[in-house]
Amino acid sequence: MSESGNVKLRILGSGREVGRAAIAVEHKGRIVLMDYGVNFDENEMPLYPLHVRPKDLELVVLTHSHLDHIGAAPALFLSTRPRLVGTPLTLDVSRYLLYDMIKLNGPNLIFDEKSVNDMLSSAEALGYEQSIEAGDFEVTLMHSGHIPGSASALVDVGGHRILYTSDMNTIDVKLTSGHKLAGTKVDTVVIESTYSNMIHPPRERMEKEFYESVMDVVSKGGTVLVPAFSVARGQEIMCLLEEKGFGYPTWIDGMIRSITEVYLAHGSFLRDSRLLAKAYNEQNVVKGWGDRRRALKEPGVIIASAGMLKGGPSLYYYGKLASNERAGVFLVSYQAPNTPGRQALEEGIFVNETRKVPVRARLQLFDFSSHADWKGVIETIRGLSGVQRVVLVHGEPDGQALLAERIRRELPNLEVLVPNNGDEIVLD
Ligand SMILES: [Zn+2]
Ligand SMILES: [Zn+2]
């Protein structure tokens, strides 16, 4: 460990916004960059984090494979090749998501497949509780409980210990157990605050309600569409149905198949890889339009991307099932404003280029969040040892202000910051 002082945090993204994560730790002009993600605006144009000079990078850490954490990282590999680490599962899944992003957004991006390959071919895989030295920095990955393979990063430099939780969850779900951050000694924690003003219902109750609703629809001869992201949420639903002994046909459509195979190849990162293997075995994999029509003909469940019904195969099934009162459309993730999913929930209508019809299918939203709620955030901070400073990132400003107040009330000795993008925090 080198001498103290002169350590700075720079918020390059996820300051008072959800997503576009990018946090730099700077010491003597060298930088460890944790995540470099994108958000998308209403026109699907990528929004990049603030600039960082790639040649100043000592190390890049990718905490998990969601695009809001990795989607800008290949741009760092256009002119140089900084060192990069992630868990082996994160690195493998990232390739699929970045290729998919290029397929959908290629002309609007500043990098292409070559940068993705340059980035991943030189990447170093690191397990949980393993450390890597880079210049004056020592970086350790820790189990963050968000999705399989996801990590928090602990940076030790200049006499400071900085924990960046990245996206995290405190509870056990089918695919992964809650984070293992308790007891970690840190002075500064940079913590996500996605659900800064919300409490999730108990997971077990949600799972029970979901399963009963599915059974209700299929036992009356209906088909249930579960629009779900192909990374983690789709597999979570597969495992849930398997564990409950669901006896009807289930179909998976989209990238979920490839991602499931990557998950199974890294079974040690799963809470119960046998459950996922059994669940995957039960799936009918959609291989073309004939299968899509077949899937719609019988009572059962179709798990298809995208989760907010914004394009992808789920939009096709939704178009077929929306006016069918025997069918179910069960949303299992957050529905952003201006998505067909949100429109269905708020206005009860299905709209596409040719028609606008009321949704007659049973429509329900289930909270299967993979992020801690505000109680989980406070519990996480409380569980750490030696914390002096809390930096809230990856959240909506209104909720963050409330959460900051709550933390100050419950843990009065802590300094609580809610930085903007571009802000610098000097640690001393
Ligand atoms: Zn995120
Ligand atoms: Zn995430």
CA-CA-CA-CA torsion sign (383, 385, 389, 392): negative
Within 8 A by CB and 6+ apart from 347, the residues are none
CA-CA-CA-CA torsion sign (216, 218, 223, 228): positive
> pLDDT tens across 168-216, in order?
999 999 999 999 999 999 999 999 999 999 999 999 999 999 999 999 9
Kindly state whether residue 253 falls inside one of the protein's structural domains: yes
Q: Are residues 253 and 379 in the same domain?
A: no
Within 8 A by CB and 6+ apart from 180, the residues are 128, 142, 143, 145
Contact yes or no for 141/130 (Cβ under 8 A): yes
Which ligand ends up closest to the CA of 64?
A: 2
Interval between CA 405 and ligand 2 midpoint (Å): 25
Kindly state whether residue 31 falls inside one of the protein's structural domains: yes
Q: Are residues 186 and 323 in the same domain?
A: no
Which ligand ends up closest to the CA of 18?
A: 1
- Closest-CA residue to 405 (of 389, 418, 419, 387): 418
Interval between CA 46 and ligand 2 midpoint (Å): 17
Interval between CA 167 and ligand 1 midpoint (Å): 5
Contact yes or no for 264/272 (Cβ under 8 A): no
Which ligand ends up closest to the CA of 93?
A: 2
Q: Are residues 272 and 319 in the same domain?
A: yes
Contact yes or no for 64/37 (Cβ under 8 A): no
What stretch of H or E contains 343? helix 340-347
Contact yes or no for 183/383 (Cβ under 8 A): yes
Residue in this structure with the two tokens 């280029």, named with its chain if needed: 353
Contact yes or no for 141/126 (Cβ under 8 A): yes
Kindly state whether residue 347 falls inside one of the protein's structural domains: yes
Interval between CA 289 and ligand 2 midpoint (Å): 31
Residue 4 has pLDDT above 90, yes or no: no
Of 349, 365, 381, the last residue of a domain is 365
Q: Are residues 269 and 387 in the same domain?
A: no
The CA distance from 383 to 378, in Å, is: 9
Query: How many domains, the chain?
Result: 2
- How much is the average pLDDT of 155-169? 97
Kindly state whether residue 140 falls inside one of the protein's structural domains: yes
Kindly state whether residue 279 falls inside one of the protein's structural domains: yes
Token digits for 73?
Answer: 């990282």
> pLDDT tens across 223-232, in order?
999 999 999 9
Interval between CA 316 and ligand 2 midpoint (Å): 26
Could you give the percent of the chain with pLDDT greater than 70?
99
Q: What is the CATH number of the domain that holds 317?
A: 3.40.50.10890
Residue 317 has pLDDT above 70, yes or no: yes
Query: How many residues appear in the chain?
Result: 428
Kindly state whether residue 88 falls inside one of the protein's structural domains: yes
Token digits for 167?
Answer: 């996206």
156 pairs with which residues across the strands? Answer: 138, 161
Q: Is 233 helix (H, G, I), strand (E, B) or coil?
A: helix
Q: Are residues 133 and 186 in the same domain?
A: yes
Interval between CA 398 and ligand 1 midpoint (Å): 18
Which ligand ends up closest to the CA of 333?
A: 2
Interval between CA 48 and ligand 1 midpoint (Å): 14
Interval between CA 423 and ligand 1 midpoint (Å): 19
Confidence of residue 3 (pLDDT cuts 50, 70, 90): very low
The burial class, CB within 10 Å (0-12 / 13-18 / 19+), for 35 is: buried
Q: Are residues 131 and 232 in the same domain?
A: no
Contact yes or no for 131/140 (Cβ under 8 A): yes
Token digits for 341?
Answer: 């999913």
Kindly state the DSSP code that residue 232 receives in the 8-state scheme. Answer: T
pLDDT of residue 19: 95
Which ligand ends up closest to the CA of 65?
A: 2
First to last CA, the chain: 15
Domain that holds residue 46: 7-198+370-427
Interval between CA 163 and ligand 2 midpoint (Å): 17
Interval between CA 338 and ligand 2 midpoint (Å): 20
Of 350, 365, 380, the last residue of a domain is 365
Q: Report the DSSP pairing between strands 46-47 and 39-40.
A: antiparallel
Interval between CA 230 and ligand 2 midpoint (Å): 13
424 pairs with which residues across the strands? Answer: 10
Amino acid at residue number 166: S
Interval between CA 66 and ligand 1 midpoint (Å): 7
CA distances to 191, 233, 320 from 196, rounded to whole Å, are 11, 21, 37
Kindly state whether residue 56 falls inside one of the protein's structural domains: yes
Q: Are residues 175 and 277 in the same domain?
A: no
Confidence of residue 287 (pLDDT cuts 50, 70, 90): very high
Q: Are residues 377 and 275 in the same domain?
A: no
Residue 127 has pLDDT above 90, yes or no: yes
Contact yes or no for 40/336 (Cβ under 8 A): no
- Closest-CA residue to 50 (of 420, 426, 427, 425): 420
Which ligand ends up closest to the CA of 194?
A: 1
Token digits for 207?
Answer: 């799972």
How far is Cα of residue 344 from the mean position of the Cα atoms in its chain? 23
Within 8 A by CB and 6+ apart from 358, the residues are 323, 348, 349, 350
Q: What is the CATH number of the domain that holds 54?
A: 3.60.15.10
How far is Cα of residue 288 from the mean position of the Cα atoms in its chain? 28
pLDDT of residue 5: 53
CA-CA-CA-CA torsion for 327, 339, 21, 381, nearest 10 degrees? -60
Interval between CA 182 and ligand 2 midpoint (Å): 20
Which ligand ends up closest to the CA of 14?
A: 1
Contact yes or no for 47/39 (Cβ under 8 A): yes
- How much is the average pLDDT of 265-282? 98
Of 344, 365, 386, the last residue of a domain is 365
Interval between CA 329 and ligand 2 midpoint (Å): 24
Q: Are residues 357 and 292 in the same domain?
A: yes
Q: Is 238 helix (H, G, I), strand (E, B) or coil?
A: helix
Interval between CA 136 and ligand 2 midpoint (Å): 28
Q: Are residues 383 and 360 in the same domain?
A: no
> pLDDT tens across 243-265, in order?
999 999 999 999 999 999 999 99
Interval between CA 223 and ligand 1 midpoint (Å): 32
Kindly state whether residue 1 falls inside one of the protein's structural domains: no
> pLDDT tens across 52-102, in order?
999 999 999 999 999 999 999 999 999 999 999 999 999 999 999 999 999
Residue in this structure with the two tokens 């990557």, named with its chain if needed: 262
Q: Are residues 67 and 214 in the same domain?
A: no
Q: Report the DSSP pairing between strands 250-253 and 283-285.
A: parallel
Residue 1 has pLDDT above 80, yes or no: no
Interval between CA 150 and ligand 2 midpoint (Å): 8
- How much is the average pLDDT of 409-423? 97
- How much is the average pLDDT of 131-151? 98
Q: Are residues 234 and 270 in the same domain?
A: yes
Interval between CA 324 and ligand 2 midpoint (Å): 33
Residue 310 has pLDDT above 90, yes or no: no
